Amino acid sequence: MSSTDSAPQSNFESLANEQRLIAEIGRIASASPSLDSVFSAFADTAKKLIPFDRLAISTIDPESGLLSDAHISGLQIEGQNFTGPYSLENSSVPSLVYEELRTLALDQKQLIDYSGSSAVEDTDQRIAIGLISAMFAPVVMQGKLVGVLVFRSKSENPYSERELDLAEQISAQIAGAISMNRQFELLEHEVASRKQFAEEQARIAQIGRLVGSSLSLDQVFKSLSNEVSELVSFDRFVVAEYSEDGLTLSRLFADGMDIADSPPGEGLQENHQLIFRHNMENQEHLLLQGDEYKDFCVGSPTETIRYEAGLRALLAIPII
């Protein structure tokens, strides 16, 4: 066979090998509903097609629309290896990638020019460790951007039209996997939420049983405090009886931080009367935290004692 005959044969074999690896990436990506478990194998296969020193899959949160790194292979960045979440406009992804869904290769100067305001520091860190070139491939599912595949290299201008085409083929193979991974995560979240809800309802039912299980209020309130602590975190738990005239709160039980704030039958200051009365009469909870709680403490010596003891929030629930 002459040299002129061997060249087409060699090109054919090279293309056949590329397509075999692309198909292998598709099989890897669809092998598990969790992309985490197959990402290492995916990255190893992708590197046989496209040279890189770092490969990242950045995904878009469907609710917030924010972009953040989800999977990374290769060179690690000390301190902030995973970046985001950023809006697309403020990320390091060029607008041509997420607006026109184009695959794009950039050199060092272009990387700096294209970086959004929030990602300038990230881009500088990558360049500082030698990642001076990058290629961005949009990951699209049913016409919608679901992520971005980012190849980074220490070489100058390593990506040609061939690599751009291969990156597009790779992104097409993993689009379904990213979408499936998202559905898997949503399902896991829903299962966890339902399990948590069932556990909460079981504890609430247990609280109902405790109330009628003893004639001793101290015993009931202590058991109540233990159950409530599994539902709502607190540093201090108080059960108080609100007087009909709205002037006093009689503390029946306290658990948690031991604060020498006030004796049972504490009178309420005027501003506290108005706030408590509004919430209690309207059967609404009262939640104060941060500056709101700090302002609430002003003018109330007893509430100030609690604030100085370290309490920073108040949640009051009317007992109807």
Write down the mean pLDDT value for the chain: 82
H helices of the chain, in order, are: 3-29, 39-47, 95-99, 108-114, 120-128, 161-211, 217-229, 270-281, 291-297, 301-308
Q: What is the pLDDT of residue 136?
A: 97
Of 169, 187, 205, which one is at a domain's C-terminal end?
Answer: 187
Is the confidence at residue 210, as pLDDT, over 90? no
Number of structural domains in the chain = 2
Is the confidence at residue 186, as pLDDT, over 70? no
For residue 122, what pLDDT band results from cuts at 50, 70 and 90? confident
174 and 218 housed in the same domain: no
* b/e map 114-136, b = 16+ CB within 10 Å: bbbebbeebbebbbeeebbbbbb
171 and 220 housed in the same domain: no
Q: Averaged over 194-220, what is the pLDDT?
A: 73
Is the confidence at residue 3, as pLDDT, over 60? no
172 and 230 housed in the same domain: no
In tens, the pLDDT along 8-55 reads: 667 878 888 999 999 999 888 887 767 777 888 999 999 999 999 999
Q: What is the pLDDT of residue 241?
A: 80
124 and 231 housed in the same domain: no
47 and 150 housed in the same domain: yes
In tens, the pLDDT along 246-272 reads: 667 777 888 899 887 766 556 555 556
* b/e map 163-199, b = 16+ CB within 10 Å: bbebbbbbbbbbbbbbbbbbeeeeeeeeeeeeeeeee
143 and 225 housed in the same domain: no
Residue 291 forms part of a structural domain? yes
Percent over 70 (pLDDT), the chain: 82
Cα 80 from Cα 111, distance rounded (Å): 18
Q: Averaged over 158-187, what is the pLDDT?
A: 84
181 and 220 housed in the same domain: no
Q: What is the pLDDT of residue 222?
A: 85
For residue 69, what pLDDT band results from cuts at 50, 70 and 90? confident
Q: What is the pLDDT of residue 49?
A: 96
Percent over 90 (pLDDT), the chain: 29
In tens, the pLDDT along 270-290 reads: 556 656 666 667 778 888 899
163 and 242 housed in the same domain: no
Ranking 159-168, 184-193, 255-264, 300-309 by mean pLDDT, the lowest is 184-193
Contacts of 52 (CB under 8 A, 6+ apart): 46, 74, 151, 152, 153
145 and 68 housed in the same domain: yes
Q: What is the pLDDT of residue 206?
A: 75
Ranking 28-42, 89-103, 179-193 by mean pLDDT, the lowest is 179-193
Q: Which CATH number do you get for residue 84?
A: 3.30.450.40
Residue 202 forms part of a structural domain? no
Please answer whether residues 49 and 21 qualify as being in contact, where contact means their C-beta atoms are separated by less than 8 angstroms: yes
34 and 158 housed in the same domain: yes
Domain housing 57:
3-187
89 and 141 housed in the same domain: yes
17 and 78 housed in the same domain: yes
